[in-house]
């Protein structure tokens, strides 16, 4: 353990609190700075107020980062996995329940998650300073210390610094860029950033008429004629475009493509659970038995009425004519739209509406322990880094993983020594190894540490 162990953590979100608690458990004298009047505000809104902590259906493919950083990211999740998240919160008294892989506090209240984190900060003697935004940060080479200062002019000095300021996602316009500015002052580059897990906008005239409709569907994202992503689940049409979890999952890819000026479209399949051949056969039978109906009546019983009307008009037909008058070829064309309704995407909703920010401080220039390769003793954690995950608890998992690693390393724990060697630790053993590691470290402040 390092003798010089005064640690500052800037940003008291999920990653910052995890970093502070971990460093304090390992003997660090930790000060946690938060610009808001209280810690962990974003946690309260996650998972629709229930706080989706993580997901046992874990895969590195649930995350986006630069291809060159995938292996680095994989190693980080081996050090602190979803099983470690469970152990971490259980060690603070939180009971966790699992629903189809999704992890929630047993109380199903996000406030329970925030409460146990706050209590642990107090229990581990972390100094929490709220209502204070760190505007300047630098490293004094002569003294070997980081100097921090706020707008009011007060300054502090520390041996180690963890920056975990979060991102502008879900904040008011212009807010949430402080962490990137601090990173830049230390020479770290920030890649292009776009809204992630956000709604898609469309300039299609028929979209407004579908506003409010919810439907289970398959959604394919097509960029310049090439399919780039595919998801399924419940989507919701709005007066400006399309929303819902499947749309959120592909929004990152759409946002970057739009930023590059590329043509972006989605294809909506309203019958994702049906094979095409039986679907076509059913439609032929339907035509043979109900061709005397008007198209409006012909489509009744298939989809939401608003969708039916949109499909009829999209096929160039009128709701009042009979199916027999339209003819089988036109009916087949209309039914094909049920499986592949093309919607042009003109944009994504703003960063203020996004759940996360895609992009950020590049992992290039950081070690696997999230330490700066430019300034020793400087660490980063959380959403401000160029790592983001899909819906389902994966972004909070990254917050906990990165916070744990940064906090451990800043406290003097040789994290590199506990990174598993794939040749020695087969995949099936990794989860058990990670569970054991966190329990071994839980009360290291009292001397039970492996560092």
Q: Is residue 1 part of a domain?
A: no
Regions in the chain scoring below 70 on pLDDT: 1-4, 415-451
Report the alpha-carbon distance of residue 237 to residue 343 in Å, rounded: 11
- Whether residues 328 and 393 fall in one domain: no
With a CB cutoff of 8 Å and minimum separation 6, the contacts of 214 are 234, 235, 236, 237, 244
pLDDT at site 451: 30
Distance, in Å, from the CA atom of 349 to the CA atom of 367, rounded to the nearest integer, reads: 34
Clarify whether residues 104 and 170 are in a common domain. Answer: yes
pLDDT of residue 449: 30
pLDDT number for residue 446: 39
Count of domains forming the chain:
2
Whether 299 and 238 map to the same domain: the answer is: yes
Q: Backbone dihedral region of 202: left (phi > 0), alpha (psi from -120 to 50 degrees) or beta?
A: beta
Contact assessment for residue 223 and residue 257, using Cβ atoms and an 8 Å cutoff: yes
Asked whether residue 328 falls in the same domain as residue 227, the answer is yes
Partners of residue 299 on adjacent β-strands? none
Residue 448, phi then psi, degrees to nearest 5 = -90, 65
Instruction: Note down the domain range covering 276.
Output: 199-349
Distance of CA 354 to the CA centre of its chain: 10
Cα 221 to Cα 84, 216, 255, 443, distances in angstroms: 34, 16, 11, 48
Do 335 and 375 have their domain in common?
no
* Domain shared by 333 and 372, yes or no: no
pLDDT of residue 3: 53
pLDDT at 151: 85
- The pLDDT assigned to 174 comes to 86
Task: Answer yes or no: is 399 within a domain.
Answer: yes
Interatomic CA distance for residues 185 and 138, integer angstroms: 8
User: Is residue 446 one of the residues assigned to a domain?
Assistant: no
Same domain for 219 and 163 = no
Query: Which residues 6+ apart lie within 8 Å of 35 measured at CB?
Result: 131, 132, 133, 134, 178
The total number of residues shown for the chain amounts to 451
Would 433 be classed as within a structural domain? yes
pLDDT tens figures, 411-433: 998 765 555 554 444 444 444 44
Instruction: Indicate the residue among 321, 349, 377 that finishes a domain.
Output: 349
Residue 146 lies in a domain: yes
Residues ≥6 apart with Cβ < 8 Å to 99 = none
For residue 384, being part of any structural domain is answered with yes
Which whole-number Å values give the CA distances from 55 to 84, 143, 153, in the listed order?
Answer: 12, 44, 43
Residue 334 falls within a domain, yes or no? yes
* In a shared domain, residues 294 and 206: yes
3-state secondary structure of 286: helix
Query: Looking at the domain assignment, is residue 315 inside a domain?
Result: yes
- For residue 138, what is the DSSP state? E
Q: Residue 73: exposed, middle, or buried by beta-carbon count in 10 A (0-12, 13-18, 19+)?
A: buried
- Please indicate, yes or no, whether residues 337 and 362 belong to a single structural domain of this protein: no
Contact status, residue 26 vs residue 169, Cβ threshold 8 Å: no
DSSP state at residue 57: S
Return the sign of the alpha-carbon dihedral for residues 183, 189, 193, 196: negative
Pick from 299, 318, 349: which residue ends a domain? 349
- What integer pLDDT is reported at residue 46 of this predicted model? 87
User: In this structure, what CATH number is given to the domain that contains residue 168?
Assistant: 3.50.50.60
Q: Are residues 313 and 423 in the same domain?
A: no
Among 246, 255, 251, 250, which Cα is nearest to 215's?
246
For residues 145 and 203, state if they share a domain.
Answer: no
DSSP letters of 185-196?
Answer: HTT--B---EEE
And the tokens for 33?
């700075």
Which SS3 state, helix, strand or coil, does residue 37 take? coil
- Are 57 and 172 in a shared domain? yes
pLDDT (0 to 100) of residue 438? 39
Domain limit, last residue, from 305, 323, 349: 349
The pTM (predicted TM-score) of the whole model is: 0.89
Tell me if 435 sits within 8 A of 413, measured CB to CB.
Answer: no
């Amino acid at each position: 353990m390092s003798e010089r162990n005064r640690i500052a953590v800037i940003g008291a979100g999920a990653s910052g609190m995890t970093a502070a608690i971990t460093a304090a458990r390992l003997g660090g004298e930790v000060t946690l700075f938060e610009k808001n009047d209280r810690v962990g505000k974003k946690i309260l809104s996650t998972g629709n107020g229930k706080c989706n902590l993580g997901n046992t259906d874990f895969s590195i493919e649930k995350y986006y980062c630069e291809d060159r950083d995938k292996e680095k990211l994989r190693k980080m999740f081996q050090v602190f996995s979803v099983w470690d998240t469970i152990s971490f919160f259980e060690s603070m008294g939180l009971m966790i329940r699992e629903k189809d892989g999704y992890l929630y506090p047993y109380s199903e209240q996000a406030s329970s998650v925030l409460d146990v984190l706050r209590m642990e900060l107090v229990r581990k003697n972390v100094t929490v300073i709220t209502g204070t935004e760190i505007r300047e940060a630098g490293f004094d080479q002569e003294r070997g210390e980081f100097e921090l200062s706020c707008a009011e002019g007060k300054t502090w000095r520390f041996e180690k610094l963890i920056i975990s300021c979060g991102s502008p996602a879900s904040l008011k316009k212009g807010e949430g860029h402080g962490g990137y500015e601090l990173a830049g002052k230390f020479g770290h580059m920030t890649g292009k950033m776009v809204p992630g897990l956000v709604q898609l906008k469309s300039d299609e005239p028929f979209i407004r008429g579908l506003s409010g409709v919810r439907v289970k569907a398959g959604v394919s994202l097509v960029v310049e004629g090439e399919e780039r992503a595919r998801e399924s689940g419940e989507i919701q049409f709005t007066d400006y475009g399309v929303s819902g979890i499947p749309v959120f999952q592909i929004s990152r890819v759409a946002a970057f493509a739009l930023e590059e000026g590329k043509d972006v479209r989605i294809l909506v399949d309203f019958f994702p659970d049906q094979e095409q051949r039986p679907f076509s056969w059913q439609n032929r039978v339907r035509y043979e038995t109900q061709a005397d109906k008007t198209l409006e009546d012909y489509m009744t019983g298939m989809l939401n009425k608003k969708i039916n009307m949109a499909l009829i008009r999209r096929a160039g037909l009128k709701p009042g004519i009979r199916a027999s008058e339209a003819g089988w070829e036109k009916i087949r064309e209309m039914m094909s739209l049920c499986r592949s309704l093309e919607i042009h995407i003109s944009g994504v909703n703003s960063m203020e509406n996004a759940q996360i920010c895609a992009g950020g401080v590049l992992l290039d220039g950081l070690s696997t322990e999230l330490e700066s390769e430019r300034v020793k003793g400087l660490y980063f954690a959380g959403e401000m880094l160029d790592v983001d995950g899909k819906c389902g608890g994966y972004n909070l998992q990254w917050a906990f993983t990165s916070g744990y690693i940064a906090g451990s390393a800043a406290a003097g724990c040789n994290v590199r020594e506990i990174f598993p060697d794939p040749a020695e630790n087969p995949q099936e053993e990794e989860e058990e190894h990670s569970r054991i590691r966190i329990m071994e470290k839980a009360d290291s402040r009292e001397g039970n540490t492996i560092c």
